[in-house]
């Protein structure tokens, strides 16, 4: 059925169709969520177990390995990563990408439950969970109140602010940094305790037994049934102070006789400041499946109401990670408008007919707006990848309309009426338009079905691009001919006169057809030259972005107290503030932030020896320096900090290279990692190089004399319990609590602070024995020692990961240099390298895109065979593909860009565009030979004559549509610009060369076809 002719005869259905689709598209555009990256369901399950006070080596043996062994029996696990720190074990189990998350959660939970009986009794029940939040904090606020002290304000944030924020739709988590937590401290006097013969663990245990509400029992008084409760809980520090504690030998004492009871605050673990002033900050993290922009809007609206209810508290928005998302959206829309305008100007320049230009211009919004409706139907969002797809196809969307309208105008100039010209021209060009559109769909759609994590990300990209391109086909076949038939005016008959450019071009084609071998030699040499440019291009993964925000993470040596960390953070803050491009600095001591966007979103880790600075830079449009240059400058300035490891960068892809070594042999791993670290520092041009190899932390080690302890009836368990309770208090989950109306305040029972400052004081602690108690030094040696701060394991082996800051270098060349180091070339047999970080994702991506390109070329060939009904002529069309490589690679080389993800996407698009130009030439040549009975030479010349103009028009329109992206207008150009440069460079060479090379390739394929037919006739004659 000829849809174009039907639409011209019956215009109302087509008008109604696009009216409905446009209304749906505009409605969907307002409802689509705006995100940075699409939310993808990564099947990663986390297991967390704690044993307070336990050292990493102990946890590795008694907890981590036992849980790992049980989990390892589950099928479909890709990697298992374990991090063991003081008192905690965290295991991340990553399943193959297609595993159902709920099923994986249940499998891991069952495996952990089966290991529970083998774990130490004091270990808290391991929690098994999957991530429900997405990415890092999207908004950061600072709170202050002149009429509240720090403790009251901290509780206000924890209670009032948290309840208000978590009630907002889409808020997944709120975390506080800075401030303090209320705690009742019972500081026992060791001298009085020793005189009474009481040890600290007895007091803690008895306090817990006495001070509690206990339920149980039933009363049948009168005619009713009553529940029975024992109410012994205390409600104030004074009540705790007056409490009588029964002792084991029948005596009892008041707590105030042996202890100082204070209603105070727990030991501070974090400290926050904003532009040098102490603050309490809280961060908002969104839930999965929600839009950053929408959640931020609703949070801000909720805070306006909240401030009206609580005017005594000042809450100020300090930082937000939503602005880059909003800027990306606004910039992408501006790029679409600018690209569309330039493409329309190109149409007008060639046709010089405002009516024809209007018809071509209508094609762009009518192709794009309905795409939003399909995006909402598929559950997509407006994110980096869908907006990238829109930006990519903006030049393509107007192409089909250009080809249609140019052909109709050419027929008008023959003296035909607009109705007749639209009918005949649409019928003539229809086959070529359908063929070119389906080849483009065949290129983009396979990216939606790539495997692994890249496939999950690019699903939205591939489907969005394919839908928009199919929309352009529907517009070109239904709307463009119909509008042309009724809107265009008849043209006076014009004698066809070719311009100088056309005459010169046709002479070139004639020369090429006469000297075919010379042209083919040049074709082969061009391909060889193009491929020789490839090794000159540095290989990268994702170019580092410029979001006008960056971070500095600082790590001090193990054992550093918070006060010292705070001093170093203040020094770092002063150094950073001296940079002219820094607007504001948020400092946090006791917490470090790692990771960036996408699947490796930021995570906060609490450790008093770590700190982080969140830095707001002047807007990209108002400074000359790139963000990567500013980060390199800050990296150099911060080298002055004494005894600190410094990493600079927001943690996104393209900032660092990770090298991971793993082994079951801890000694061999340590030796290999030390050698590698020394050699890594010899590489030129890199930033800071940090290793996860555990730093040694200072420890107080107690070595029991087993024989003497046995003689006196002292066990290791009782020694450990006395030491733990005396120096830090009981386990948090077993600590007695003070009941208040809205919360429980922990009561920490321990000896006074002086005990922790002296080995001699610790050695004098009393431990329970067979006949009363004895001093610790009687049964054990107390000494200073050291142990690992942290143990990292991957796939049940210890591992060491090196984070290498690229410092503006490309990941591919740095990785190649690292692999050539002697330490990497001569790894011990028990040590092996594991793929991790950007290097792993880069290999996954290039492999996936390579597969998608091969599938795309196969799909193009299948589509062309079906459309042409011929197995050989599609080879002519595919022969144009290599013509784009030289221009693309050369453009990347001269603009100093790497061969990375955006340039691969650009190459993918080029494949479709180059094929499109070839189809226009070959299809007309075949038609001229069949329908007009022209000989091959005349048909080729006629095809070049008729189709060169629309090919040049569509190429220039597409290049014009890409130009704002290549020039870096509006949105952050770091990702888009290399893609646009690739496309423009490839378009120039492929268009210029395909116009002369494709006719020659066609003749060779036609000769081969003729020879095969001759062979077939001979075979049939002899048979």
On whether both 532 and 645 belong to a single domain, the answer is: no
- Domains identified in the chain, total number: 5
Lookup: tokens for 122? 């004091």
Residues in the chain: 1023
Q: Which of 768, 788, 808 is the C-terminal boundary of a domain?
A: 788
**Strand ranges for 163-208 from DSSP E:** 171-177, 182-188
Could you report the per-residue pLDDT of 745-772, keeping only the tens digit for each?
888 888 878 777 888 888 888 888 887 7
Whether the pLDDT of residue 552 is over 70: the answer is: yes
Q: What is the pLDDT of residue 597?
A: 36
On whether both 874 and 1018 belong to a single domain, the answer is: yes
**Strand ranges for 595-714 from DSSP E:** 603-617, 644-648, 656-663, 689-691, 696-704
Residue 1000 phi/psi, 5° resolution? -70, -45
pTM of the entire structure? 0.79
DSSP 738-803: EE-SS-EEEEEEEE-GGGGG-HHHHHT-EEEETTEEEEHHHHEEEEEEEEES-EEEETTEEEEEEE
Cα–Cα distance for residue pair 123/119, rounded to 1 Å = 7
Residue 324 phi/psi, 5° resolution? -60, -35
Q: Residue 850 half-sphere exposure, CB side, CA atoms within 13 Å?
A: 7
Q: Is the dihedral of CA 982, 987, 992, 998 positive or negative?
A: positive
Q: What is the extent of the structural domain holding 124?
A: 43-130
Q: What is the CATH number of the domain that holds 936?
A: 1.20.1640.10
Mean per-residue pLDDT for 9-19? 90
On whether both 199 and 210 belong to a single domain, the answer is: yes
Whether the pLDDT of residue 454 is over 70: the answer is: yes
690 has which bridge partners?
803
Cα–Cα distance for residue pair 437/508, rounded to 1 Å = 29
Cα–Cα distance for residue pair 79/796, rounded to 1 Å = 9
In Å, how far are 9, 364, 402, 437 from 426, measured between CA atoms?
13, 19, 12, 15
The candidate with the shortest Cα–Cα distance to 969, out of 321, 327, 325, 326, is 327
Q: Which of 720, 753, 788 is the C-terminal boundary of a domain?
A: 788
Question: How many C-beta neighbours within 10 Å does residue 667 have?
Answer: 10
Q: Is the dihedral of CA 1003, 1009, 1012, 1013 positive or negative?
A: negative
Q: Which of 130, 148, 169 is the C-terminal boundary of a domain?
A: 130
On whether both 735 and 701 belong to a single domain, the answer is: yes
Say if 441 falls within a structural domain.
Answer: yes
Cα–Cα distance for residue pair 73/59, rounded to 1 Å = 21
Say if 816 falls within a structural domain.
Answer: no
Q: What is the pLDDT of residue 598?
A: 34
Q: Residue 343 half-sphere exposure, CB side, CA atoms within 13 Å?
A: 33
Q: Helix 384-412 vs helix 354-377: angle between axes, to the nearest 10 degrees?
A: 150
Q: What is the CATH number of the domain that holds 91?
A: 3.30.70.1430
On whether both 21 and 54 belong to a single domain, the answer is: no
Could you report the per-residue pLDDT of 659-671, keeping only the tens digit for each?
888 888 888 888 8
H or E stretch at 715: none
Say if 405 falls within a structural domain.
Answer: yes
Contact 450, 458 (CB under 8 A): yes
Q: What is the CATH number of the domain that holds 229?
A: 3.30.2090.10
The candidate with the shortest Cα–Cα distance to 464, out of 545, 388, 363, is 388
Cα–Cα distance for residue pair 873/861, rounded to 1 Å = 10
Say if 833 falls within a structural domain.
Answer: no
Q: Best-predicted range by mean pLDDT among 263-272, 510-519, 642-651, 682-691?
A: 510-519
Cα–Cα distance for residue pair 613/553, rounded to 1 Å = 7
Helices (H) and strands (E) counted in the chain, each on its own, are 35, 30
Average pLDDT over the chain, rounded to whole?
83
Pairing of strands 603-617, 780-788: unpaired
pLDDT, greater one: 600 or 257: 257
In Å, how far are 353, 354, 401, 685, 957 from 349, measured between CA atoms?
9, 10, 15, 49, 10
Lookup: tokens for 681? 């520092």
Q: What is the pLDDT of residue 925?
A: 87
Q: What is the pLDDT of residue 819?
A: 86
Say if 1017 falls within a structural domain.
Answer: yes
What's the CA dihedral at 600, 606, 611, 616 to 10 degrees? 50
Whether the pLDDT of residue 601 is over 60: the answer is: no
Q: What is the pLDDT of residue 525?
A: 92
* Residue 187 DSSP symbol: E
The candidate with the shortest Cα–Cα distance to 547, out of 739, 356, 723, 328, is 328
Model confidence band, residue 606 (pLDDT cutoffs 50, 70, 90):
low
Lookup: tokens for 240? 């705790």
On whether both 707 and 766 belong to a single domain, the answer is: yes
Could you report the per-residue pLDDT of 188-240, keeping only the tens digit for each?
887 777 777 777 777 777 777 777 777 778 888 888 888 888 887 778 888 88
On whether both 462 and 532 belong to a single domain, the answer is: no
Say if 779 falls within a structural domain.
Answer: yes
Cα–Cα distance for residue pair 778/705, rounded to 1 Å = 9
Q: What is the pLDDT of residue 694?
A: 61
Residue 492 phi/psi, 5° resolution? -65, 145
Q: What is the pLDDT of residue 671?
A: 87
Q: Among 123-127, 726-730, 895-899, which stretch is predicted with the lowest mean pLDDT?
A: 726-730
The candidate with the shortest Cα–Cα distance to 201, out of 561, 595, 731, is 731
Angle (CA) 267-272-274 rounded to 5° is 160
Contact 473, 2 (CB under 8 A): no
End-to-end CA distance of the chain: 41
The candidate with the shortest Cα–Cα distance to 491, out of 596, 409, 606, is 409
Model confidence band, residue 16 (pLDDT cutoffs 50, 70, 90):
very high
On whether both 503 and 558 belong to a single domain, the answer is: no
Q: What is the pLDDT of residue 107?
A: 92
Say if 522 falls within a structural domain.
Answer: yes
On whether both 523 and 561 belong to a single domain, the answer is: no
On whether both 467 and 418 belong to a single domain, the answer is: yes
Question: How many C-beta neighbours within 10 Å does residue 871 have?
Answer: 12
**Strand ranges for 213-254 from DSSP E:** 213-219, 226-231, 244-246, 252-254
Say if 13 falls within a structural domain.
Answer: yes
Could you report the per-residue pLDDT of 669-717, keeping only the tens digit for each?
888 888 888 888 888 878 778 787 767 788 888 888 888 888 888 888 8
Contact 802, 681 (CB under 8 A): no
On whether both 357 and 255 belong to a single domain, the answer is: no
Cα–Cα distance for residue pair 781/761, rounded to 1 Å = 13
The candidate with the shortest Cα–Cα distance to 689, out of 699, 681, 698, is 681
Q: What is the pLDDT of residue 838?
A: 64
The candidate with the shortest Cα–Cα distance to 401, out of 438, 440, 429, 439, is 429
On whether both 901 and 960 belong to a single domain, the answer is: yes
Mean per-residue pLDDT for 726-743? 78
Mean per-residue pLDDT for 625-631? 83
């Amino acid at each position: 059925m000829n849809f174009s002719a039907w639409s011209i005869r019956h215009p109302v259905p087509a008008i109604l169709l696009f009216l409905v689709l446009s209304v749906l598209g505009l409605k969907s555009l307002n409802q689509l969520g705006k995100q940075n990256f699409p939310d993808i369901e990564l099947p990663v399950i986390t297991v967390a177990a704690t044993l307070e006070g336990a050292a990493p080596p102990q946890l590795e043996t008694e907890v981590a390995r036992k849980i790992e062994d049980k989990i390892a029996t589950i099928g479909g696990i890709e990697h298992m990563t374990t991090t063991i720190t003081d008192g905690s074990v965290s295991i991340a189990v990553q399943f193959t990408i297609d595993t159902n998350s709920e099923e994986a959660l249940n499998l891991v939970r069952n495996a952990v439950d089966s290991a529970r009986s083998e774990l130490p009794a004091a270990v808290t029940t391991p929690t098994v969970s999957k991530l429900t939040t997405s990415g890092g904090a999207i908004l950061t606020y600072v709170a202050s109140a002149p009429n509240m002290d720090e403790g009251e304000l901290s509780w206000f944030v924890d209670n009032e602010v948290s309840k208000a924020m978590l009630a907002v739709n889409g808020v997944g988590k709120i975390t506080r940094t800075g401030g303090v937590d209320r705690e009742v401290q019972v500081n026992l006097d060791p001298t009085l305790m020793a005189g009474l013969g009481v040890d600290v663990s007895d007091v803690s245990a008895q306090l817990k037994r006495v001070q509690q509400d206990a339920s149980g029992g039933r009363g049948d008084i009168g005619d009713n049934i009553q529940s029975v409760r024992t109410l012994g809980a205390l409600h104030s520090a004074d009540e705790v102070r007056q409490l009588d504690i029964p002792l084991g030998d029948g005596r009892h004492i008041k707590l105030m006789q042996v202890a100082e009871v204070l209603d105070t605050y727990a030991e501070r673990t974090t400290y926050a400041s904003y532009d040098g002033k102490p603050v309490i900050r809280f961060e908002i993290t969104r839930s999965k499946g929600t839009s950053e922009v929408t959640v931020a809007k609703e949070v801000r609206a909720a805070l306006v109401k909240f401030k009206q209810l609580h005017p005594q508290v000042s809450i100020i928005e300090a930082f937000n990670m939503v602005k880059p998302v909003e800027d990306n959206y606004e910039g992408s829309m501006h790029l679409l408008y600018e690209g569309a305008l330039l493409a329309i100007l190109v149409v007008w320049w060639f046709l010089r007919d405002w009516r024809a230009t209007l018809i071509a211009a209508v094609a762009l919004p009518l192709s794009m707006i309905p795409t939003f409706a399909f995006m909402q139907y598929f559950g997509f969002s407006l994110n980096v990848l869908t907006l990238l797809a829109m930006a990519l196809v903006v030049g393509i969307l107007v192409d089909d309309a250009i080809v249609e309208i140019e052909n109709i105008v050419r027929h008008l100039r023959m003296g035909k009426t607009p109705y007749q010209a639209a009918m005949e021209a649409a019928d003539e060009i229809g086959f070529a338009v359908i063929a070119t559109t389906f080849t483009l769909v065949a290129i983009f759609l396979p990216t939606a079905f790539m495997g692994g994590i890249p496939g999950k990300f690019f699903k939205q990209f591939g489907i969005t691009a394919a839908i928009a391109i199919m929309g352009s086909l529907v517009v070109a076949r239904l709307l463009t001919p119909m509008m042309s038939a009724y809107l265009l005016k008849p043209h006076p008959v014009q004698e066809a006169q070719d311009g100088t450019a056309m005459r010169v071009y046709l002479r070139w084609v004639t020369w090429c057809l006469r000297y075919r071998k010379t042209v083919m030699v040049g074709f082969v040499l061009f391909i060889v030259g193009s491929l020789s440019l490839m090794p000159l291009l540095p290989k990268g993964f994702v170019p580092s972005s410029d979001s006008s925000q960056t971070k500095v993470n600082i790590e001090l040596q193990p054992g550093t107290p918070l006060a010292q960390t705070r001093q170093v953070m203040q020094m770092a803050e002063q150094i950073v503030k001296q940079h002219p491009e820094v607007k504001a600095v948020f400092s946090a001591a006791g917490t470090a932030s790692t990771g960036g966007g996408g699947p490796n979103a930021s995570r906060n880790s609490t450790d008093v020896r770590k700190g982080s600075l969140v830095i707001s830079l002047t807007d990209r449009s108002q400074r000359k320096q790139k963000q990567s240059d500013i980060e390199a400058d800050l990296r150099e300035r911060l080298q002055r900090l004494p005894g600190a490891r410094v990493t600079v960068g927001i943690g996104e892809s393209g900032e660092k290279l990770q090298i991971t070594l793993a082994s079951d042999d801890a000694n061999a791993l340590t030796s290999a990692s030390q050698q590698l670290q020394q050699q890594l520092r010899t590489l030129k041009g890199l930033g800071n190089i940090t290793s996860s190899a555990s730093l040694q932390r200072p420890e107080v080690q107690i070595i029991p004399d087993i024989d003497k302890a046995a003689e006196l009836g002292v066990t290791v368990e009782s020694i450990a319990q006395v030491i733990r309770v005396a120096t830090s208090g009981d386990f948090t989950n077993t600590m007695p609590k003070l009941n208040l109306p809205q919360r429980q305040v922990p009561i920490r029972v321990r000896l006074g602070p002086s005990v922790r400052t002296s080995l001699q004081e610790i050695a004098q602690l009393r431990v329970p024995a067979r006949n009363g108690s004895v001093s610790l030094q009687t049964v054990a040696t107390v000494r200073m020692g050291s142990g690992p701060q942290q143990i990292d394991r991957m796939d049940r082996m210890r591992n060491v990961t090196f984070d290498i800051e690229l410092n503006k270098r490309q990941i591919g060349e740095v990785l190649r240099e690292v692999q050539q180091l002697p330490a990497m070339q001569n790894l011990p047999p028990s040590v092996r390298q594991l793929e991790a970080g950007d290097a792993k994702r880069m290999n996954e991506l290039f492999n996936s895109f390579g597969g998608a390109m091969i599938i795309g070329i196969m799909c193009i060939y299948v589509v062309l065979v079906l459309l042409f009904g011929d197995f050989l002529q599609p080879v002519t069309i595919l022969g144009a593909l290599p013509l784009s490589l030289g221009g693309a690679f050369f453009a990347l080389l001269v603009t100093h860009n790497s061969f990375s993800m955006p340039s691969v996407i650009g190459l993918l698009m080029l494949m479709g565009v180059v094929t499109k130009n070839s189809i226009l030439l070959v299809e007309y040549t075949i038609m001229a030979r069949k329908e007009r009975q022209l000989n091959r030479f005349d048909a080729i010349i006629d095809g070049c004559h008729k189709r060169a103009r629309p090919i040049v028009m569509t190429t220039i329109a597409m290049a014009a549509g890409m130009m704002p992206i290549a020039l870096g207008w509006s949105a952050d150009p770091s990702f888009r610009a290399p893609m646009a440069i690739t496309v423009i460079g490839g378009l120039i060479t492929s268009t210029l060369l395909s116009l002369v090379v494709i006719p020659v390739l066609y003749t060779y394929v036609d000769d081969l076809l003729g020879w095969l037919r001759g062979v077939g006739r001979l075979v049939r004659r002899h048979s």
